[in-house]
């Protein structure tokens, strides 16, 4: 069974640009969550989607948004990028809400 | 506010030593608890989980954890570590019946000397 797939693996952007990250969950998993990992703040929850609806949201500004498609694939968008958005963005999927989550390798975003 | 704290930032052990990593959470209600491991260059993997029942849970690779409700703790243990256990370990909590929002601790980096 293929794991959680995140694309791209690496991204370099400049301040003010926007970026879209993609996540394909494990087949059959319907819940997708996103996390930001930085050396200073650790792993922080961004949001969670289930059945194309956002079910939970973390404490991030509105520049961070996401969506989920009918096939459970998810995208995360960050607009007006700031230097502090440089991080590893992790996607996790689970069969259902509240179930153990399986993580992808992440997308490393660097802002210049 | 809901939070998870891990006592040790960096632990260094020799092979065959015993391991205990501390984790405390602050939640008012019922929680599900997890330990994840991140080996160098790899993605986060689930080591073990506690949802309910026996407070002593066993996970993969010989790891176990004990849920002590009165102490709000979920410490990870392994009787004898190996060099291959070198990794970063994360404790995480999920509020019961509130979706899948995981709150992570800061992580503990474990270095095992051969």
Q: Residue A14's pLDDT is what? A: 97
- Pick the residue from chain A with its C-alpha nearest to B94: A98
- Kindly give, in sequence order, each residue whose CB lies less than 8 Å from that of residue A37, ignoring residues fewer than 6 positions away: A43, A44, A87, A88, A89, A90, A106
Q: Residue A31's pLDDT is what? A: 95
B105 vs A contacts (CB less than 8 Å) = 42
- Kindly give, in sequence order, each residue whose CB lies less than 8 Å from that of residue A30, ignoring residues fewer than 6 positions away: A50, A51, A72, A95, A96
Please answer yes or no on whether A44 and B96 come within 8 Å at the CB atom: no
Please answer yes or no on whether B43 and A42 come within 8 Å at the CB atom: no
Q: Residue B1's pLDDT is what? A: 62
| Cβ-contact A15, A78 below 8 angstroms | no
Q: Residue B113's pLDDT is what? A: 96
B49 vs A contacts (CB less than 8 Å) = 100
Interchain CB contact of A104 with B (< 8 Å) = yes
DSSP code per residue over B53-78: S-SEEE-GGG-EEEEEGGGTEEEEEE
Residue B28 has pLDDT above 80, yes or no: no
Which residue's entry shows tokens 């009165």?
Answer: B70
Distance CA B87, CA A68 (A): 32
- Pick the residue from chain A with its C-alpha nearest to B98: A98
């Amino acid at each position: 069974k293929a794991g959680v797939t995140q694309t791209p693996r690496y991204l370099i952007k400049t301040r003010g640009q926007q970026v879209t990250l993609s996540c394909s969950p494990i087949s059959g998993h319907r819940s997708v969550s996103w996390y930001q990992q930085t050396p200073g703040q650790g792993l922080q929850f961004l949001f969670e989607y289930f059945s194309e609806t956002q079910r939970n949201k973390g404490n991030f500004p509105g520049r961070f948004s996401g969506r989920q498609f009918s096939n459970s694939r998810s995208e995360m968008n960050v607009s007006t990028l700031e230097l502090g958005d440089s991080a590893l963005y992790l996607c996790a999927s689970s069969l259902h809400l509240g179930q153990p989550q399986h993580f992808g390798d992440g997308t490393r975003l660097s802002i210049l | 506010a809901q939070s998870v704290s891990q006592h040790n930032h960096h632990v260094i052990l020799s092979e065959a030593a015993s391991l205990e990593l501390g984790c405390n959470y602050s939640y008012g209600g019922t929680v599900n608890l997890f330990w994840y491991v991140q080996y160098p260059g790899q993605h986060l993997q689930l080591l073990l989980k506690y949802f309910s029942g026996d407070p002593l849970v066993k996970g993969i690779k010989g790891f176990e954890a004990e849920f002590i409700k009165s102490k709000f703790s979920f410490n990870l243990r392994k009787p004898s570590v190996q060099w291959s256990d070198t990794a970063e370990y994360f404790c995480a909590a999920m509020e019961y019946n509130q979706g899948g929002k995981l709150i992570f601790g800061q992580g503990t980096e474990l270095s095992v000397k051969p």
